[in-house]
A and B are shown apart, each in its own frame.
Chain A
Amino acid sequence: MSELALILIGALLVNNFVLAQFLGLCPFMGMTRGYDTALAMGLATTFVLTLSATLCHALFHLLLVPLSLEWLRIVVFIAVVACVVQLTEIYLRSLSPLLHRLLGIYLPLITTNCAVLGVALIVIGANFTWLQTLVFAIGAAGGFTLVMVLFGAIRERLEGADVPKPFSGAPIALITAGIMSLGFLGFAGLAS
């Protein structure tokens, strides 16, 4: 139980995918102009990431290992991620057309979110069990959503700030991300 808690804290804070491992930076920069889209993107990624990581884990151990096709894992995992994204898109289009339009091109781009494939590959490398994989994926996705939401709110506030012209927009956002990353450094060692 405490091992699972450590995996969760580790993925959520200590090795936060965005601020400590610098994975998934494209949606982090691209989808955080506003708080609402950041939250939507975070939740959509959470869904895709958790589902695809557990599916990939099952597929790897039930199919690829028995057939000794482990070397095919990257191709297979990408296919799984793409399928899950497609499912999410179909689901979202019927459930909330507005959200679907808001996420726009970024929804299919979850497929190429390196954090999603990263989680699937890391759990194989770390030899996690299925339950550990689930907890790790939830932690990673939760950490991603957390920083997306915090960052989205910060960027909304930055809109009203008197940022010097050369630094407005992406530069100040990257500086902010850097300072947030500095804050997350404090968690080092927490999950060991």
Chain B
Amino acid sequence: MRPDVPREYQTSAMPVTGSLTTNTIMWRVCAALLPGALLSVWFFGLGVVMNLVLVLVMATACEAACLKARGKPAMACLRDGSTVVTALILTLCMPPSMSVGILALAVCGAVVLAKHLYGGLGHNIFNPAMVGYALALVSFPDAMASWPGLDGMSGATPLTTFRYREGLSVAELWNAANGFGVLGAAGWEWVNVAYLAGGLLLWRMHLIAWRVPLAMLGTLTLLALIFYDGGSSASAGSPAYHLFSAGTMLAAFFVLTDPVTHPATRRSQLVFGALAGIVIFAVRAWGNYPDGIAFAVLLANAATPFLNRVARTHRDSHDQVTG
């Protein structure tokens, strides 16, 4: 049992036994993120490292300040590694070489707004990294969309190019812009494969509730299949494109699986993942924003207490609290 989480929100994905502390889990999550992070640096340049250093420093400073202000033991809490995971996920969503101001806004949103105002680790309703990211995204949409192309020039993300391709069919777009690879967007596809591998590792180690990513990726695939028309000019993209572009795998295995912000029972975890998948596809296919991952995570998080509540009311004997 994690002492800092109310009993009814404990899931077995949390360190129930004493053998695994929050600290150990967080470092394992970091390790699982590492391949994707390294590939991000490989494809998007040293700007990613610069972001990471800045975000880590600012997040640690913010965390320490908040803990001090709240009269908690700062060193002991800092060592749990949760700040590092938040900083890492936040950085991996951000375009490289972001301005310090935008990074600071995102870090404040994540650490102060989404985490400490709610009472710190284990009490947050929303995933801190996604609150910070969404805040930066709606405040500075242009800066947040300028990813470097593979030719080294800065430009729109492949998702944006795909969304606003003005009548080109998918095959034409793939040939015209060299921002696309075999599965999805060039570079992104391998980063996503790395996140998938890391996520499967976490699954093997029983650190995540596997129903959440399964439901999210499954729903996304299903919707992409239903609306797939062979790649015409109005196509919303193939399932492979949706699965291996932008932060799909990162969100599925590392963001949505944050055990305090997803529901506790099996069935509600499936609903939770499916909800996120639906929102991601709807925003990508029909919305103004090129990607909907941050919004999907926030909305699914907002639904978590409701899903828990419904599950508690209709709990039948087979639907035990699970991970």
Asked if B299 and A184 make an inter-chain contact with CB atoms under 8 angstroms apart, the answer reads: yes
| CB nearest neighbor in B for A164 | B70
Known: A160-B6, A175-B113, A175-B117. A189 touches B302 (CB 8 A): no
* Chain A residues touching B, range: 20 to 34
Using A179-B298, A182-B131, A186-B296 as known contacts, say yes or no to A161 and B287 having CB atoms under 8 A apart: no
Assess the B134–A182 pair: CB atoms within 8 A: yes
> Judging by beta carbons under 8 Å apart, are B299 and A158 in contact?
no
Interface presence of B119 (CB below 8 A): yes
Residue numbers in B under 8 Å from A180 (CB-CB):
298-299, 302
In the complex, per-residue mask of A147-158: 1 if CB is within 8 Å of any chain B CB, else 0: 001100110111
B114 at the interface (CB under 8 A from A): yes
Chain A residue contacts of B271, Cβ below 8 A = none
Contacts A161-B118, A179-B131 given; indicate if A154 touches B6 (C-beta within 8 A).
no
User: Would you call B138 and A156 a contact (CB within 8 A)?
Assistant: no
Residue A22 interfacial (CB < 8 Å): no
| Interface pair B309/A185, CB less than 8 Å apart | no
Q: Are A179 and B126 in contact (CB under 8 A)?
A: yes
Q: Would B116 and A182 count as touching, CB distance under 8 A?
A: no
Say yes or no for A187: interface residue by CB 8 A criterion. yes
Interface members, chain A 134-192 (any B CB < 8 Å) = 149-150, 153-154, 156-158, 160-164, 167, 172, 175-176, 179-180, 182-190
Task: Classify the interface of chain A: helix, strand, loop or mixed.
Answer: helix
Give the size range of B's interface with the partner. Answer: 35 or more
Residue in B116, B282, B286, B305 whose beta carbon sits within 8 Å of that of A156 in the complex = B305
Give the distance in Å from the alpha carbon of A184 to the alpha carbon of B298 in the complex: 9
Least Cβ–Cβ distance between A177 and chain B, in angstroms: 10
Q: Which of B271-304 contact A (CB under 8 A)?
A: 279, 282-283, 286-289, 292, 294-296, 298-299, 301-303
Q: Nearest-CB distance from A143 to chain B (Å)?
A: 13
The yes or no answer to A60 lying at the interface (CB within 8 A) is no
- Contact B298–A172 (Cβ < 8 Å): no
Pick from A35, A156, A179, A186: contact of B287, CB under 8 Å: A186
A154 to B305, CA, bound (A): 5
Partner of A182, one of B118, B119, B298, B303: B298
Closest Cβ of chain A to B46, distance in Å, is 31
Query: Which chain B residues numbered 178 to 216 have a C-beta less than 8 Å away from chain A?
Result: none
Q: Which residue of B lies closest to A167 (CB)?
A: B117
Q: Which residues of A contact B (CB under 8 A)?
A: 35, 149-150, 153-154, 156-158, 160-164, 167, 172, 175-176, 179-180, 182-190
Q: Which A-B residue pairs are the 4 nearest by beta carbons?
A: A186-B295, A189-B288, A162-B119, A183-B298
